Each structure stands twice: as C-alpha cells, then as structure tokens.
Amino acid sequence: MKNLTALILSAVLILGYQATEAQSKRKRDKMYPAYSTPKPNKGDRFLQTQWWLGFRAGASLTEANPIRRFSGFSPINYDQELTEKTYSGFELPGGHAGIEITFYHRGFSFSLQPNYRRQRFSYYNEFTWDDAENGDNQLDLKYDQDHQLDYIEIPFFVKYDLTRGNLRPFIQIGGYYARLANANKAVEITGTDYASGDAGPFNTENVVIGAKDLFIKTSVGVAGGVGVSYDFWNMRLVLDATYRYGMNNITNAKNRYSKNELAGIGDALDDVEMRNISFGLGFLFPLRFINKQFDAN
C-alpha cells in the first residue's frame, strides 16, 4: 500500500512537471492576461496576489496506528499477545467534501479547506477454544470490527507553486484540526463450530452500534502532499494527494471500557493515531479582478 501511494504521488509530480514543460514550448490560449506571456510581468497584480474560492471533494484511505494495546480479555492459559488486534491498513475507502479558500501571493498559497470527512478503519481478533482430549470440541471465532468516523475538519495548508503557467504542480504542507461529528462501529462474527456436529463456517448478522463516546472530539495532525492545478476558462482545477499524520490518540481513554457496548466480546479500543491518504479534486474561482463577463483583467 505504501509503495502504491509513493507511486501515485510520483506520477502526479512527473505529470505536472512534464505538462508544465510542454506548456512553455507552445503558445497557449490566453485566459488571463497575467498568464498570457511565458514570462509573467512581475508587476502584474493579478499574478502576484489572488483569492480563490471553490469547492472540493475526494476519496481517502485511513490506517489506525496503535500506540498502546488494550483488550478486554486477560488470558489465563495463553499468551496476551494472542488478544492483540490485527489492523486493516489503508484499505477501507472514505471520502470528504468541503470548500476551499486560498490566498495566493508570489507563488505561495495559504489555503483553508474546511470539509466534512469520513474515515474508516477496521481490525479483527481471532480466538480458539479447544479440548485436547476431544478434537470435536473446538470453536474458532473471528470478530471483524469496522469503524466509521465522521469529522468536521479544518485543514490549513501552505502551498508553493513549482511553476507559473496554466498548469502548476505544487507542494503543500500544513496541519488540521477536526471535530468528531459522528462515529459508528460494526462487528461481524464469523467462525467454525466443530462441536455442533457441522464443521461448516457460520457468520452472524452485523451489529452496528453508535460509537461516538468511544472517541474524543478532537483530532489534530500535520499534513503534506503534492498536487497540480490547471487554469482554464475562469476557473482553476486542482488535483492533489495529501498524507495526514495524526498526532493525538483519538480513543477516549475514559470510556474505553465503560461505554463500549462490545466490551462483552472482549473488545477494548487501543490508543490509536490516524494516518490518512486523501485524493482531492477541487474547482476554484478567482475572487479578484473579475469583471461582469467573468474575465479576469
């Protein structure tokens, strides 16, 4: 998964660079006067300073990184490590949608991108109970638990445009502050009950519970990424990929056991930090120098 991410990020960078190189070799349709020359006029106010406003949306993949392990089971005759959860990694798709307000000045952009974000992660535990004297007495169980967390997030990025054409690859770094809006948890129990006389697997219906009390309200972290923007007509199309590195434990330590409706199956949330890869698509509109014909001048 990490290799795939690196590949995607590299591809975005290379594409952006090649496209920019190509632009510099051909004469383009003029959209903004400021972009109409290969070498922009340094005194052009539009080029130097601009506000952009628009909306953006995209998909994301999340990984929960356990920093401290917990379990409701305290084994008597087997290793505690067997109770540890196996996390899914960047597998379950999430999404986000919101607006973007960006202030551009001399190649640098300061961007606020409030959004509603859904992040998902999962883990599973496996347990076996057996009988050394009677091989038919065996039960294998697997608890799959899927978490869906909805945040209202306020990320702030500083972007730097690597070129100055219509097609602009950029890099961005920043941070985010998010408030939990909702959280759900679903568990599916599958297994094999050899003692029942039928060694076929079984699975139970998914149980979905509200899990808002299991997580604290706040999530913060740093973020960095790459992207490319393309200006056409009177708008800017932005494609970016961003890696978010959560810097706090999002599990509510005080409610780990007391508010967990799945504690009875031995579940106790680990202390986890979030890692997230987001792919976004944005449409931005310039707020300055637009006349009634929506031509920047």
Q: Counting contacts by CB under 8 A, is residue 248 touching other proteins?
A: yes
CB of 94 to other proteins, least distance (A): 22
What are 289's two structure tokens? 């120098």
Binding-residue pattern over the window 175 to 214 for other proteins, x denoting contact by CB under 8 A: --x-----------------x-------------------
End-to-end, the C-alpha distance of the chain in Å comes to 45
CB of 229 to other proteins, least distance (A): 21
Residues 126-155 touching other proteins, rule: CB under 8 A, are 127-132, 134, 137-139, 141, 154
Distance CA 232, CA 294 (A): 12
Which is closer to other proteins, CB of 171 or CB of 195? 195
Q: Counting contacts by CB under 8 A, is residue 252 touching other proteins?
A: yes
Element (H, E) at 236: strand 235-246
Distance CA 163, CA 161 (A): 5
The structure tokens 């975005």 sit at 12
Residues 86-115 touching other proteins, rule: CB under 8 A, are 103, 110, 112
Pairing of strands 108-112, 138-161: antiparallel
Do 111 and 97 touch, CB atoms closer than 8 A? no
Binding-residue pattern over the window 60 to 79 for other proteins, x denoting contact by CB under 8 A: ------------xxxxxxx-
Closest CA to 52 of 281, 286, 236, 239: 286
Give the binding site for other proteins (CB under 8 A).
49, 72-78, 80, 103, 110, 112, 127-132, 134, 137-139, 141, 154, 156, 177, 195, 216-218, 220, 248-249, 251-254, 256-258, 260-266, 268
